[in-house]
């Protein structure tokens, strides 16, 4: 198979999973971590920007606390993470320091992405760290995250970080070689080397591969790859234990499964599509669907059929067709009660119905990200 051309890629995000950093006992796999650090340090010395998204805080805490299996409750996971995060960062600091490199810990939750101001603050912080030649070591803030604000796994976190910093390449290291065309271990099953579109067939192949010490599986990696593809960057899923896997991948060796990018969304639309909290739904008719998809129009009140949720002006909502399929996400110019009153009306009728008219559009096309 031909080599992949990554020669123009300057900024790389590498995510490594719990199963690749810890043994089944929950204790840290020092050899694996040392190999990872050595490869990242070498990329940094080549002049590339490197960001590491690491799992393993809960796993490291499990080993220290003597847990035999992954904690089941959120408080227990938080306690394990509180202990494990310090252990994990200390390990990274020590190993990177052997190569004369400085690391900085960044802990994130979904709220840091969902709020536009915090999103931009995180972007500026990471950019400044890279400018100062600091290697960001990023993890979800498991000590405070609960189900409502968790990103869910570090695959999605890595993809959102990669989009946040305009990375060129996202490498998801795991305990599998890539996405297989059949269940791994099945006779004749092979790794799919190149994917240009994530469709229902690809999603079905993802299944639920995971491990006892990790939260993610292949399904979450497919979700992450979708975010990355729409953000204009390449994603590769590969086995962490493969010798010199990062160096070989960056040099173009066709390891793992590569997901090639689709149309790149601009930064604001990326945030709308993947980071912002969805606060409600707006259902639109077929004419409005065509106007958004085929003509690049804004959403006007005349195309709105139904409103769900109690959202305010400036919130992000899902835009649904009449079958209930999400076709877009966007930032609304009016609150839910106002849209309920003007739905189906012409733009010229807004002022008459509401007594004022701040905008012609329910959602302006500049604030709309199509699926």
The DSSP output letter for 181 is S
154 known ligand binder: yes
Whole-angstrom distance, CA of residue 332 vs CA of residue 200: 30
Whole-angstrom distance, CA of residue 146 vs CA of residue 2: 44
174 known ligand binder: yes
216 known ligand binder: yes
- Axis crossing angle, helix 57-65 with helix 74-97, rounded to the nearest 10: 100
109 known ligand binder: no
Q: Which runs of E-coded beta strand occur in 21-175?
A: 49-54, 102-108, 134-140, 169-174
Cα-based angle 287, 289, 294 (whole degrees, multiple of 5):
95
Count, in order, helices (H) and strands (E) of the chain. Answer: 14, 13
321 known ligand binder: no
Burial (Cβ within 10 Å: 0-12, 13-18, ≥19) of residue 193: middle
5 known ligand binder: no
15 known ligand binder: yes
55 known ligand binder: yes
251 known ligand binder: no
217 known ligand binder: yes
Strand pairing class (234-239; 257-259):
antiparallel
207 known ligand binder: no
Short-list 259, 110, 247, CA closest to 192: 259
In order of 215, 219, 339, the CA distances from 150 in angstroms are 12, 17, 30
Q: Which residues are known binding-site members for ATP? A: 15, 174-175, 215-221
Q: Which residues are known binding-site members for substrate? A: 55, 142, 154
Q: Which residues are known binding-site members? A: 15, 55, 142, 154, 174-175, 215-221
């Amino acid at each position: 198979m031909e080599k992949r051309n990554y020669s123009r890629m300057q900024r790389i995000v590498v995510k490594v999973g719990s199963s690749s950093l810890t043994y089944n006992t929950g204790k840290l796999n020092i050899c694996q971590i040392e190999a990872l650090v050595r490869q990242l340090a070498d990329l940094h010395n080549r002049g590339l920007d490197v960001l590491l998204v690491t799992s393993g805080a809960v796993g490291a805490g499990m080993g220290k606390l003597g847990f035999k299996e992954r904690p089941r409750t959120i408080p227990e996971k938080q306690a394990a993470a509180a202990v494990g995060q310090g252990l994990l960062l200390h390990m990274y600091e020590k190993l990177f320091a052997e190569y004369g490199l400085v690391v900085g810990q960044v802990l994130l939750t979904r709220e840091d992405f969902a709020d536009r101001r915090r999103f931009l603050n995180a972007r500026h912080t990471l950019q400044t760290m890279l400018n100062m030649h600091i290697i960001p070591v990023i993890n979800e803030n498991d000590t405070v995250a609960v189900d409502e604000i968790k990103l869910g796994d570090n695959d999605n976190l890595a993809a959102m970080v990669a989009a946040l910093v305009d990375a060129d390449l996202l490498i998801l290291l795991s305990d599998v070689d890539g996405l297989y065309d059949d269940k791994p271990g099945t006779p004749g099953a092979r790794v799919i080397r190149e994917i240009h579109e994530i469709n229902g067939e690809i999603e079905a192949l993802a299944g639920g591969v995971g491990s006892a010490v990790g939260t993610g599986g292949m399904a979450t990696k497919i979700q992450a790859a979708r975010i990355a593809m729409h953000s204009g960057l390449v994603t590769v899923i590969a086995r962490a234990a493969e010798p010199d896997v990062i160096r070989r991948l960056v040099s173009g060796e066709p390891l793992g499964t590569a997901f090639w990018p689709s149309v790149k969304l601009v930064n604001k639309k990326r945030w709308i599509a993947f980071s912002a909290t969805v606060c409600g739904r707006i259902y639109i008719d077929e004419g409005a669907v065509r106007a958004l998809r085929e003509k690049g129009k804004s959403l006007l009140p005349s195309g709105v059929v139904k409103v769900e949720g109690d959202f305010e002006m400036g919130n992000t909502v899902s835009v649904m067709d009449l079958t209930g399929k999400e076709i877009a996400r966007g930032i609304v110019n009016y609150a839910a009660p106002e849209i309920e009153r003007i739905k189906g009306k012409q733009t010229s009728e807004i002022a008459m119905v509401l007594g004022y008219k701040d905008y012609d559009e329910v959602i302006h096309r500049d604030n709309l990200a199509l699926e």
